[in-house]
Structure 1
Amino acid sequence: MPSLKEVRNRIVSVNSTQQITKAMKMVAAAKLRRAQDNIIQMRPYAQKLSEMLGTVSAGADVAAESPYKAVRPVERVLMIVVTSDRGLCGAFNTNVVKAALTRISEQYATQQSRGNVEIMAIGKKGGEAFTRRGFKVNNQFVDSFLNLSFANVRAAAESAMESFVAGRYDVIELVYNEFKNVATQIVRTEQMLPIVSKPADATATTASAVNYAFEPSEEEIIAELIPKSLKIQLYKAVLESNASEHGARMTAMDKATENAGELLKELRLVYNRTRQAAITKEILEIVGGAEALAN
């Protein structure tokens, strides 16, 4: 049985930890509200931009000839993995890393055996995880979350796009956490390049039937829309991941606070039992000593 001092020290330690987890939960909640507002505002814009691109480029020869639609034999692959800079957010980072590794092993095992799979890490945890596993890691944009802005993410998107057009990569895929709610994040794997034409639904078909007047020209509009759509796709993924991170950390810290509370109850029970045992032992010693003197 531990001594009273040891139990007291553990109670103080757990109590301090509980205060820290409470504070981290409150900080994550405050950041989550801002991140959630950002992604809620971004989603309609990204969706409308994608719809507009699909409508304008439907049947357009210039869209089919875009260098971003070039389909080549897959020899070199770039995986853009979006994680967080810090831990203490449950399985948030682990799930993304696992999804990327599963995708590589199932789809690009041959390319990986040749050393032709490279990782672009956005977020330190992903870069560290893939570096430990021996992957080629591009850490140029790993600190994007230090000052999260469209300009920083756009630089990463432009780097990937330029590399694809230059033929350095044949496929570029994106792995990130999509924000659903505070307790739920969904790991998404999307092909960023080459652009895959999505089948049009009834709404898109109706919209594409509308006659548009292009100004200055259809070619210039499509040439502007495709790169912008790709940059917005990556920026949206980063915002989704940012909101997911704060939601995951808030949930993890809430659970940690509850666990600390349960542990405190157990430790206080142990403390009381130990204290009672010590008192009983002292009484027995006093009684034994008194009987010895009487005899």
Structure 2
Amino acid sequence: MASLKEVRARIASINSTQQITKAMKMVSAAKLRRAQDNITQLRPYAQKLSQMLGTVSAGAETASESPYKQARPIDRVLLIVVTSDRGLCGAFNSNVVKAALALMDEKYSAQARSGNVEIMAIGKKGAEAFQRRGFKVNKNHVEAFTSLNFATVRAAAEEAMEGFANGRFDVVEVIYNEFRNAAVQILRTEQMLPIVATAAPGSTSASINYIFEPSEEEIVTELIPKTIKTQLYKAVLDSNASEHGARMTAMDKATDNAGELLKELKLVYNRTRQAAITTEILEIVGGAEALASA
């Protein structure tokens, strides 16, 4: 049985840990509110922009000539992996890494064996995980969450777009956590390039008569890059909100677990203390009897 001093030290240590997890939960809850507002405000715009691009480009001749729609045999792959900069958020980061590895095994196994899969890491944890596994990691945008804004993410999107247009990559996919609520994050894998034109549900390009102003070519040429950048920005904002939700949930569970452990340790402490007192009483009684019989 552990000594009273050891048990007291463990209780003090767990109390300290519980204070930290409570504080981290509160910080994540505050950050989650702001992050949730950001993604809920952007999501309708991003969805409508994507829907509009799909509907317009399905019937626009200019869209088919865009360098971002050119499908070709897949030899070189870019995976944009969106994780967090810090840990202590449960399986948030490991799930993204596992999803990326599973995608390579199922869809790009030949390219992975040839070393033609490059990782663009947004978030330090993803960069560290794939570097340990020996993958080629693009770390130009790894610190995007340090100052998260559209300009920061746009730079990452433009680099991927330039690489695809120049033939450096034949396909670009994004792996991230989509935010639903504080307790639920859904892993998403989306093809960013080449873009696939899809008409809006319930409509076809043939049934819609568009009037382009200033011109079809100018609108589609401007719309396609803007939509690609906005979709990546939405994915990063989704991941940011998901991270804070995952961390808040993880810290809440850690706080509860610390409370349960404290109950057990206090019970052990009381039993140990009671046993020590009983032993002292028995020693005193034994000594008194020895003196009386002397």
TM-score for both structures, normalised by structure 2: 0.98
- Partner residue, 1:187: 187
- Partner residue, 2:69: 69
Please give the alpha-carbon distance, in whole angstroms, between the structure 2 residues aligned to 1:134 and 1:105. Answer: 15
User: 5+ unaligned residues in a row in structure 1: which ranges?
Assistant: none
Aligned partners of 1:56 and 1:208 also within 8 Å: no
Q: CA deviation at 1:213?
A: 2.0
- The 3 A distance-change label for structure 1 pair 242 and 39 is same
Secondary structure of the equivalent of 1:69?
coil
- Partner residue, 1:22: 22
Matched ranges for 1:6-155 at <5 A: 6-155=6-155
User: 5+ unaligned residues in a row in structure 2: which ranges?
Assistant: none
- Partner residue, 1:246: 244
Secondary structure of the equivalent of 1:51?
helix
- Partner residue, 1:5: 5
- The 3 A distance-change label for structure 1 pair 63 and 259 is same
Please give the alpha-carbon distance, in whole angstroms, between the structure 2 residues aligned to 1:57 and 1:197. Answer: 6
Q: CA deviation at 1:53?
A: 1.1
Please give the alpha-carbon distance, in whole angstroms, between the structure 1 residues aligned to 2:162 and 2:88. Answer: 35
- Partner residue, 2:156: 156
Q: CA deviation at 1:72?
A: 1.0
**Residue identity in the other structure for 2:274:** Q
TM-score for both structures, normalised by structure 1: 0.97
1:176-232 per-position Cα deviation (integer Å, ceiling 9, x unaligned): 000011101000000000111225421x33x86343321110001000000000000
**RMSD between aligned residues:** 1.0
- Structure 2 residue 215 is matched with structure 1 residue 217: yes
Secondary structure of the equivalent of 1:33?
helix
Identity over aligned residues, as a percent? 76
Q: CA deviation at 1:61?
A: 1.1
Please give the alpha-carbon distance, in whole angstroms, between the structure 1 residues aligned to 2:28 and 2:206. Answer: 43
1:58-100 per-position Cα deviation (integer Å, ceiling 9, x unaligned): 2211111110011111100000000000000000001000000
Please give the alpha-carbon distance, in whole angstroms, between the structure 2 residues aligned to 1:26 and 1:200. Answer: 41
Please give the alpha-carbon distance, in whole angstroms, between the structure 2 residues aligned to 1:199 and 1:245. Answer: 32
- The 3 A distance-change label for structure 1 pair 277 and 90 is same
Aligned partners of 2:55 and 2:198 also within 8 Å: no
Please give the alpha-carbon distance, in whole angstroms, between the structure 2 residues aligned to 1:163 and 1:26. Answer: 41
**Residue identity in the other structure for 1:117:** V
Secondary structure of the equivalent of 1:79?
strand
- The 3 A distance-change label for structure 1 pair 103 and 260 is same
